[in-house]
């Protein structure tokens, strides 16, 4: 009799043959601009720790103090016995930072999308999603019983066409939910949220923006894409984000009206049925918000580093695609070449990973670099030089 699990090895082996498998590296210590990975000292160019806050002394001390005062864990889900004062304070501080009526903290950003999207749109509704939205959005949409369609990437005119067609549906849709990433994580481009909000508003649709890569990066003091475009916050109904990137910790969240938060905490099973964050995590997130509000130099340094590095690799001859943020892809094309490129970079002290199919199109492989506020000018010069060396070896420049 055939082993019912034989497909596991077969499918994995197929990925290895096609150079599409993930091989995990080990970070030996803290995520710092210069760190140790797999026994080698390298420059970190692929972390989401944009502002280098995961090692900020105020944030580390807040985490340690919370363990001393509140213990190692919360002991429960929040609806039962795990709703600590630290969680409540975090949501109060986050809502103030986002200039929203209320915020709700989820265990992860993925949990926010997977838990809330299916509750916002159900049978008789329509979800309209940018074609390059993050996988967590895609999974959240798949969990919904609503009809779903996509509009061309960052194309407001096509969105308008889709919404016009949706208004002809019989019977009429009860609700329409338009969802977009704020910053797209593979290309580093920014959604035209101002136009999306205007068009969706004209058609009476709800707007949901996943700003995981925009918070701490875009807008006044890192307040995100809504601030970046100066949009009236009442016209963007759900702002989703994460503490695991620019904030330097972990966790997801949504911000908006008090009605949104009351709805979300009563309807999202990912929130209702998952243990709440340990005290150290909640306290560290509060400290991160405090740092963003009082130390603007981190956001400023991030953008200075981004502009310097992007200019440097472009002058060598690399294509950085549509990047308009600290996500700077070095376009390669072929997946096998991208993996070779990454291995050679690692050999000379640069940790930057390849992004290959199915995360991007078959001919869209790239080395995705992500800038960090803690990188020095010398670090950046070293990185640019390494890209030039390997690029010439592989005859890419």
The residues that are catalytic are 185, 213, 245
Burial status of residue 281 (CB atoms within 10 A of its CB: 0-12, 13-18, 19 or more)? buried
Q: Which residue's entry shows tokens 């150079």? A: 19
CA 365 to chain centroid, in Å, comes to 19
Provide the angle, in degrees to the nearest 10, between the axes of the packed helices 279-294 and 297-316.
80
Q: HEC string of the chain?
A: CCCCCHHHHHHHHHHHHCCCCCCCCCECCCCCCEEEECCEEEEECCCCCCCCHHHCHHHHHHHHHHHHHHCCCCCCECCCCCCCHHHHHHHHHHHHHHCCCEEEEECCHHHHHHHHHHHHCCCCCEEEEECCCCHHHHHHHHCCCCEEEEECCCCHHHHHHHHHHHCCCCCCCCCEEEEEECECCCCCCECCHHHHHHHHHHCCCEEEEECCCCCCCCCHHHCCHHHHHCCCHHHCCEEEEECCCCCCCCCEEEEECHHHHHHHHHHCHHHHCCECCCHHHHHHHHHHHHHHHHCCHHHHHHHHHHHHHHHHHHHHCCCCCCCCCCEEEEEEECHHHHHHHHHHHHHCCEECCEECCCCCCCCCEEEEEECCCCCCHHHHHHHHHHHHHHHHHCCCC
List, edge to edge, every strand of the sheet that includes 238-242. 102-106, 252-256, 238-242, 206-210, 176-181, 126-130, 147-151
- Name the nearest CA neighbour of 183 among 241, 232, 231: 241
């Amino acid at each position: 009799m055939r082993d019912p699990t034989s497909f596991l090895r077969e499918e994995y082996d197929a990925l290895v043959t096609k150079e599409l498998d993930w091989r995990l590296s080990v970070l030996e210590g803290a995520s710092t601009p210069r760190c140790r990975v797999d026994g080698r000292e390298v420059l970190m160019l692929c972390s989401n720790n944009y502002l280098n806050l995961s090692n900020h002394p105020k944030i580390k001390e807040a985490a340690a103090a919370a363990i001393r005062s509140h213990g190692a864990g919360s002991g429960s889900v929040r609806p039962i016995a795990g709703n600590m004062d630290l969680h409540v304070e975090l949501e109060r501080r986050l809502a103030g930072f986002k200039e929203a009526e209320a915020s709700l903290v989820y265990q992860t950003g993925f949990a926010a999308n997977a838990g809330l999207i299916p509750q916002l749109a159900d049978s008789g509704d329509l979800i309209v999603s940018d074609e390059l939205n993050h996988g967590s959005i895609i999974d959240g949409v798949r969990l919904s019983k609503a009809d779903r369609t996509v509009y061309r990437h960052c194309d407001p005119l096509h969105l308008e066409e889709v919404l016009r067609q949706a208004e002809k549906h019989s019977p009429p849709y009860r609700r329409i939910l338009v969802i977009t990433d704020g910053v797209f994580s593979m290309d580093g481009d920014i959604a035209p949220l101002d136009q999306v909000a205007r068009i969706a508003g004209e058609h009476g649709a709800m707007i949901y923006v996943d700003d995981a890569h925009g918070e701490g990066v875009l807008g006044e003091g890192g307040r995100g894409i809504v601030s970046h475009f100066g949009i009236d916050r009442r016209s963007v109904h759900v702002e989703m984000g994460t503490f695991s990137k620019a904030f330097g910790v972990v966790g997801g969240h949504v911000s908006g009206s008090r009605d949104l938060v009351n709805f979300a905490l009563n309807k999202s099973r990912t929130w209702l049925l998952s243990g709440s964050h340990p005290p150290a995590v909640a306290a560290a997130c509060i400290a991160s918000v405090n740092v963003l509000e009082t130390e603007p130099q981190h956001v400023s340094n991030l953008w200075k580093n981004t502009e310097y590095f992007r200019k440097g690799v472009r002058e060598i001859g690399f294509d950085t695609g549509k990047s308009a943020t600290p996500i700077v892809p070095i376009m390669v094309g072929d997946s096998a070449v991208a993996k070779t490129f990454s291995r050679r970079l690692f050999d000379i002290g640069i940790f930057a990973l390849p992004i290959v199919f199915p995360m991007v199109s078959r001919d869209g492989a790239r080395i995705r670099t992500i800038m960090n506020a803690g990188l020095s000018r010398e670090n950046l010069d070293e990185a640019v030089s390494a890209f030039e060396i390997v690029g010439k070896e592989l005859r890419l420049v």
